[in-house]
Structure formats: structure tokens, C-alpha cells
Amino acid sequence: MDKKLLDSVYDASTFKNHGDQLVQLLAHHLNNASRGSSKTIDWNLPEDELAFWNSFLETGKMDDFFPEILKRTTHVHNPKYVGHQVAVPAPITALTGLIASMLNNGMAVYEMGMSPTAMERIVCDLLGQNIGYSENSRGILTSGGTLANLTALLAARKAKVESNVWNNGHTGPLAIMVSEEAHYCVDRAAKIMGLGDAGIIKVPVTEDFTMDVSQLETRYQQAIANGVQVFAIVGSAPSTATGIYDNLVAIGQFAGKHNLWFHVDGAHGGAAIFSKKYKHLLQGIEHSDSVVIDGHKMLMMPTITTALIFKEGQHSHTTFSQKADYLLTDTDEEDWYNGGKRTFECTKSMMSLHWYILLKMYGEEVFDQNVTQLYDLAEAFAQLIQNDLHFELAIQPMSNILCFRYVDENLNLEELNQLNQTIRQILLEDGEYYLVQTKLRGIHYLRTTLMNPFTTMEHLGQLIHKIKQEAHKLLTNNPS
């Protein structure tokens, strides 16, 4: 067989040429985007985007491929990016991504990823220490907070439910407790586990969007009276829409009283364990049984990498074991290095490289600086909004997530909702800034997550000014 095509695919000098060009292009992009002088997003209709890439497949030039991707994506390195909870990756992690893709060790067994497996152990041990766990703690890295929360709840069920659900299926109704403001993936995890609607006890939130812990006992007793076994409770650190942290001390005490598994969904703000100034928000996390922290949110890493850390390492080993008992006998050595037994995935990427390189090059201090900078900025932005009569905050922020809206006393709720929605669409199509939106208790808010450590109050002041200008145009029907 003539394998010229395959030869060209694997040609090292072609790789080098493309690689050199791409690194130059990305370095240029980084410089450009971080100045904030270009658009954050050049928004297109989905159908137009589809048509473009269909036509590119036929007639596009290879030289244009990478530049077109740059043009047609959202630029998180632009300080005017204040949208979703996605990290602004430290550029070095683009290079760990590159080597991971090239070497492509599949990580399911030790031999297929020796270095990244050792690094994963080091990273997880360090996270366990920062959470406040003992040396019994173990963890895994996995593909996202969604999967990590599901994995934690599977471990919880294994640890707390006496019947062997893994092998025999459910024999009675089971439930978890979680705030009604928790990320939807917790709900989804419970559904995947077959708990059904009755198996997700949604605890209402207070006026301040934090779990109303005064309701825990009543809700729990109601479930017990209905013959439901509650086996876990999840605290949000923080919840997604508003960025408000649950009271982990109170939740931990409640979990202890009823022998429930206490899981902390810190996908977004668990990273505050590294912030000297803000780690108090996580007080009580040390009493949890498991914690999820995303690297690709507040820890400057590319998608997708999440740490799931267990207080007691054995739970990391039993989650997916086919037998009810612990995998190892007392005399066995713990095979922490065979990751495939402990993660949902079989094959997974060499994601520990991102964590390790940041620790090696910059130390834990870099995580402290990033989280502290972003949370401080949100506080200052909240002040700015509060001092402006044209705006209203949904709630004083506890993290870098901040919801606010334009207000006008002459408009009713419906009109204000429409106005804020229209403003957000105008900003999206304009593309200078990128922010998102959310609805809380029937009120439409603009939502910013301050992810870029180079966003300044000047950028945010200009954003506020721009929103006011757009609102004025809409209200006076003056398009100029």
C-alpha cells in the first residue's frame, strides 16, 4: 500500500513549521488581546458560522485555518472578557496542553502516563493539605466538575447506604440534600443515579441566596417520615448564578448529626483555599468528606481539569469497585498509581501537567494572587454599581460573580427585564465586552464573572458607561 499520505501526516518538519507559526500567532494574539483594544467577541449567527466552516472545508487555505479560529472565538485574555466562569489560561498551560496532546498517554494504567500519574498524586495531596484534610486524603483529577460531582455522590452512596446498590440496584428510596441554587449538574448526577425527583431534596435559600440551614432538620425529618434514606448533603462554594457561598460549618454539623456524607461543590470557588484573604469563606470545608475544585475556572488552566479530593483516601478506591468491599487486603500496597480504577473515565488526558507546571514555575502564591485579585475587583465593582442610581445589584458579591441591572423608575418589572435583555444582546453583537445574563426570582440581570486578573476598574467603569449609553438610546429611541 502506498502510504505517502500517512507519511506526510507524521512528518516532523511539517509539524515544526505549523507549530512555529502557531506559537507566533498565539503570542501575537496574547499581546493584542491583553491590551483590550480589539473586540472580545466577533459574534456571528450560528447558521452563518456553520456556512463559513462548510465552505472552508472545500475552499479554505490551510494558512488561514488558525487565524480564522482566532477571529471566530471569544477572547478570554481580553480584559473586557467578563462572561462565563472559564479561566484565562496561563500561557504555559497551552504548552502543557501541547505536549499532552502529542504524547497522548491515556492514563488508565500507570504505564500509560508515569509522570502525569506521579504529578497527579502530588497535586491532589497538596490540595488535600490546603483543604485541611489529614495525610489519609487522596484525590483524582477528572474531566470537569460535572463528572467530579457525580463521582463524589457515587462514593457517598457506596459509603453511606448499607445495601449494595452498585451490584444489586436500589432496594429503597434514597436522597441527597442540596440548595435550590446549586449548579444543575448536581441535579443531573442524582437523576443519573436513579434517585428521581423525590431523591433530590432542594433546600430553599434565604433572601441572600445562601442555603437556608434553618430548614435542614424539617426537610430531613419529612424525608425520613416518607421512608426515604438521605445519604448525602452538598454545599455550594459558591453557587453558580450568584456566586454566594453556603454556610459550610452549619452544613457540616448537620451532616455529622445525621451521619450524612458531606460534599462540597467548590468547582468555582473552592480555589479560595489558596487565598489568605478569602479562605474564611470556606470555613468548615475541612469537615467535609469530599471536595470538587475546577482547575479550568479560578486556577488559570485550560479546559478541562477538575480535582476531586476525598478526606479518606479509601473512598477514592471503592467508588467504582465491582465488589462491595475494599479493593485491597491489609497487606496489599495501595495502588494509587492505577488511576483508571478510581476515575469515571477509562482514557483521560494528562491534565496534571497543567497543575504541576503552575506550581513548579510560580508556586501556590500564583493561585492566591489570582483568586484574591478577582474577588477584590468584584468588591470594588459592586461599590461602583451601588453608587450609581442607574444600577441595582442583585446581591452583594461574595466571590467574583456579580449580578446587576440597569434600572429606571419609570419602567415596570416587565419593561426593565426587556430593557436589560436587549442591552445584553446589543453588547454581545457589539463585541467590545463579553458579559452574560441570568434571571433571579423573576428579575433579569446582567451577570459578570471577573475572570481576567488584568481587568481594571477603568474597564468596568467604561462598561457601565456603555450600558448607560445603550439604555439611553433605547429609552429615547435615539439610535445615534
Q: Which is nearer to ligand PLP, 293 or 427 (CB)?
A: 293
Asked if 144 touches ligand PLP (CB under 6 A), the answer is yes
**Smallest gap, in angstroms, from Cβ of residue 320 to ligand PLP?**
19
Contact assessment for residue 272 and residue 283, using Cβ atoms and an 8 Å cutoff: no
Sole binder of ligand PLP in the list 132, 145, 295, 302 (CB under 6 A): 145
Which residue, 190 or 416, has its beta carbon nearer to ligand PLP? 190
Give the residue carrying C-alpha cell 479561566.
Answer: 87
Judge contact between 71 and 44, C-beta under 8 A. Answer: no
Q: Which residue from 138, 183, 354, 405 is in contact with ligand PLP, where contact means CB under 6 A?
A: 183
User: Would you count residue 210 as binding ligand PLP (CB under 6 A)?
Assistant: no
Residue 293 grid coordinates:
475544585
- Nearest to ligand PLP of 240, 343 (CB atom): 240
* 146 contacts ligand PLP (rule: CB under 6 A): yes
- Residue 240 engages ligand PLP in binding (rule: CB under 6 A): yes
Q: Which is nearer to ligand PLP, 235 or 339 (CB)?
A: 235
Phi-psi region of 441 (alpha: psi -120 to 50; beta: other; left: phi over 0): left
- Give strand pairing partners of 235: 264
Q: Is 305 in the site for ligand PLP (CB under 6 A)?
A: no
Using Cβ positions, the residue closest to ligand PLP within the complex turns out to be 145
Site for ligand PLP in 277-296 (CB under 6 A): 294
| Shortest Å distance, C-beta 117 to ligand PLP | 22
Beta pairing class for 443-449 and 436-440: antiparallel
Strands (E) across 295-442 are located at 306-310, 391-393, 401-406, 436-440
Angle between helices 457-476 and 413-430 (to 10 degrees): 120
Among 306, 343, 372, 400, binds ligand PLP (CB under 6 A): 306
Residue 333 is given by DSSP the state: P
The answer to whether 243 contacts ligand PLP (rule: CB under 6 A) is no
Instruction: Give the containing element (helix H, strand E) for 140.
Output: strand 138-142
Q: From the CB of 267, what's the least distance to ligand PLP, in Å?
A: 3
Q: How far is the CB of 265 from ligand PLP (least distance, A)?
A: 5
Q: How far, in Å, are 146, 174, 187, 445 from residue 265 at the CA level?
A: 10, 20, 12, 24
In this structure, the chain runs to a length of 480
Instruction: Give the separation between CA 160 and CA 31, rounded to whole angstroms.
Output: 52
Q: How far apart are CA 93 and CA 146, in angstroms?
A: 22
Question: At closest approach, how far in Å is the CB of 237 from ligand PLP?
Answer: 8
Q: Any idea what DSSP says for residue 389?
A: T
Residue 368 is a binding residue for ligand PLP (CB under 6 A)? no
User: Which residues in this chain contact ligand PLP in the complex, by CB under 6 A?
Assistant: 85, 144-146, 149, 183, 185, 236, 240, 265, 267-268, 294, 306
